Every structure is written in C-alpha cells, then in structure tokens.
Amino acid sequence: MICMNKNRMIMMRHKQCYPADIMSGLVLPSNSIEDNERMVNRIELRHLSSGGNFSLTEIQELRSLAVSCPFTEGTAVYRARNLLVEVDSFNTEYINDCELPSGQGSKSMSPIAEEFEEIPPQFVLYPNPNAGSVFVSVINPAPEEQYFLDIYNMLGQCVKSIPISTRVQDYQISLENLENSLYLYTIVRLNYEIIHYGQ
C-alpha cells in the first residue's frame, strides 16, 4: 500500500502498520506527555493506513494539542503541528505563550507551576559526641516553619526542648547543664511529626 499526501510519499505495507497500531494500544500512558504521544501515534498510524485523510475529530485533537506548550506537553506538540501542515494553510502558526521571545531574540520557558512532593528540611547535628555544645545545621530549609529539638535521657524523659526556626540555617546549642551521659534526640514539627532522630 502506498500512502500519498501533499508533502511526501510514504510507502508502507499494511502488515507493518497493523502491528504498530496494536503495540501503540498496549502502551498505558502514565502522564499527559505520554497521553499526547499516544494520541499523535494513533492519528498518524490511522492517517497513513487510510491514504492520507484526517477525520474532523482528529483535526480538532491535533489543533488542540498544537496550541499547547511543548515544554509541558512534550514533543507530540511539534508532531501535531507538523501533521496539521497538510490541513491548514501555510501561514497558520501555532505558538504558545511559553514559546514567545523573552528579550533580545532568545527564547526561554515561562515559569511553570508544577506540583512537587514537599521535601522536608534535613538537619545535621554535630559534633557527636560533644564537649558541652552542639551545632544544628538546617539543609533545604522550609520558609518560616517551626521545629523543636527534643533531648531525652536513657529513661525516655525529655530533659531539654529547644525551638528551631528554619529561617536560621545554623544554630549553636549549649548542653552544659546536662550530665555527661548518652542522650537521644528528635527533631519534630509542631504537629509532633518526627523529622530526624539520633543519639
């Protein structure tokens, strides 16, 4: 079977197209980028096997994707634009705000708000053992969050509780009033969630 279109001639056997369609159907997308790739693959395979015609639904799907930001929706955006060259006039331009020039002819991505899993601050307590004072360093501080360094004796009694703000990254804490002994410590949030512990 030979598929013809305005811009190129594609030679393809129906036997080659059918397994590709089945394999594309087996892929289960896990995000919007993979969804877009699967959609464009489906449309392109059907387009090639039908002799170069798009349905109105396919054209609408391609146009909807073509106006999307390729930085968030993936390379399928460019593939959709390329397929639409056969349908739309040559002066149709699909550009998203994220692709607009940002000064002196350079292009850059617009800031994109994405949901990231919250990474709690990490705490380093040193030196251990110590000679009467310890330093607490806060790595990856969260803005204005309150924590407590709780120090426990070996009987499980809290002998000292020190507030720690993540606005300050390094603390020196005096432990001179504690007896020489082995102590356990926890760093907890206000809701008593333990973030870090040690001895």
Give me the residue spans of the domains in the chain. Answer: 2-97, 122-198
Over residues 72-77, mean pLDDT: 87
- Does residue 160 or residue 88 have the better pLDDT? 160
By the 8 A CB rule, do 191 and 147 touch? Answer: no
The sign one gets for the Cα dihedral 53, 54, 56, 59 is: negative
Q: Give the pair of three-digit tokens for residue 159.
A: 């002998």
Among the ranges given (6-20, 23-37, 156-170), the one the predictor scored with the smallest mean pLDDT = 6-20
Residues 42-68: tens digit of each pLDDT: 888 888 777 777 888 888 888 888 888
Average pLDDT, the chain: 75
The third-level CATH classification (topology) of the domain covering 122-198 is: Immunoglobulin-like (2.60.40)
Report the distance separating Cα 69 and Cα 108, nearest Å. Answer: 12
Q: How far apart are CA 145 and CA 119, in angstroms?
A: 13
- CA-CA distance, 181 to 194, in Å (whole number)? 23
pTM over 0.75, yes/no? no
Confidence of residue 13 (pLDDT cuts 50, 70, 90): very low
- 128, 134 contact by CB (below 8 A): yes
52 neighbors 87 (Cβ within 8 angstroms): no
